[in-house]
């Protein structure tokens, strides 16, 4: 769990893999410069050590804030040494969730599908009998989550 806390390190590695290995697109991520001068429209704001999504704000969450109240909320949710990030909003993460792959010594140990919702409703499911990456390229994503 070397990278469990430091999202920016994970993002940099995933960006490199997407660019150089899989040749795929990734959400653009930047360090949030505080205090904010304007609302980050169409963005997801997340803090390192996001604590089961308790420190993640998606665009619909941001609608209830003014710039001033958002700056106040972010400062109250701070953590020493943890930075806030701004990332392109990916609607599929909200509707379908995300896959978290845990590797040990270069081998996949397990994969967890994390469903979206309120932090107190966070649901995770360990997946087994996984398809290869090649098989996944030709599968509609909803098939992975019994949503077809």
The pair of structure tokens assigned to 128 is 């087994």
The confidence score (pLDDT) of residue 79 equals 77
- Within a 10 A sphere around the Cβ of 70, how many other Cβ atoms? 20
* Residue 117 maps to a domain: yes
- Interval 20-40 mean pLDDT: 91
Give the CA dihedral 84, 119, 14, 29, nearest 10 degrees: -30
72 with 14, same domain: the answer is: yes
Domain range for residue 57? 7-89
Out of 89, 118, 135, a domain closes at 89
Pairing relationship of beta strands 43-47 and 56-57 according to DSSP bridges: antiparallel
pLDDT band at 142 (very low <50, low <70, confident <90, very high): low
The confidence score (pLDDT) of residue 97 equals 78
pLDDT band at 28 (very low <50, low <70, confident <90, very high): very high
Residue 145 has pLDDT above 60, yes or no: no
Pairing relationship of beta strands 56-57 and 107-115 according to DSSP bridges: unpaired
The confidence score (pLDDT) of residue 103 equals 73
The confidence score (pLDDT) of residue 131 equals 66
For 43-71, how does the pLDDT look when each residue is reduced to its tens digit (9 = 90+)?
999 888 776 677 888 899 899 999 999 99
27 with 83, same domain: the answer is: yes
Greatest alpha-carbon span in the chain:
48
84 with 133, same domain: the answer is: no
Q: Do 109 and 103 meet the contact criterion of CB atoms below 8 Å apart?
A: yes
For 79-130, how does the pLDDT look when each residue is reduced to its tens digit (9 = 90+)?
777 889 999 999 888 777 777 777 777 777 777 777 766 555 556 677 777 6
Distance from C-alpha of 74 to C-alpha of 99, rounded to nearest angstrom? 27
pTM: 0.71
E-strand stretches of 97-139: 98-104, 107-115, 123-127
Using only the alpha carbons of the chain, give its radius of gyration.
17
The confidence score (pLDDT) of residue 136 equals 64
The pair of structure tokens assigned to 47 is 């803090």
The confidence score (pLDDT) of residue 1 equals 45
13 with 85, same domain: the answer is: yes
Residue reference for tokens 């400062």: 75
Instruction: For residue 27, give every residue at least 6 positions away whose Cβ sits within 8 Å of its Cβ, in sequence order, or none.
Output: 44, 87, 88, 89, 90
């Amino acid at each position: 769990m070397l990278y469990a806390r430091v999202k920016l390190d994970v993002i940099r590695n995933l960006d490199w893999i997407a660019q150089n290995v899989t040749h795929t697109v990734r959400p653009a991520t930047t360090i949030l410069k505080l205090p904010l001068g304007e609302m980050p429209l169409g963005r997801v704001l997340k803090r390192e050590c996001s604590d089961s999504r308790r420190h993640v704000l998606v665009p619909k969450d941001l609608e209830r804030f003014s710039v001033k109240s958002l700056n106040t909320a972010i400062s109250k949710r701070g953590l020493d040494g943890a930075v806030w990030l701004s990332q392109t909003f990916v609607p599929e993460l909200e509707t379908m969730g995300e896959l978290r792959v845990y590797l040990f010594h270069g081998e996949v140990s397990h994969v967890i599908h994390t469903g979206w919702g309120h932090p107190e409703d966070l649901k995770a499911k360990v997946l087994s009998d996984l398809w290869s990456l090649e098989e996944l390229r030709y599968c509609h994503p909803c098939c992975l989550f019994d949503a077809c």
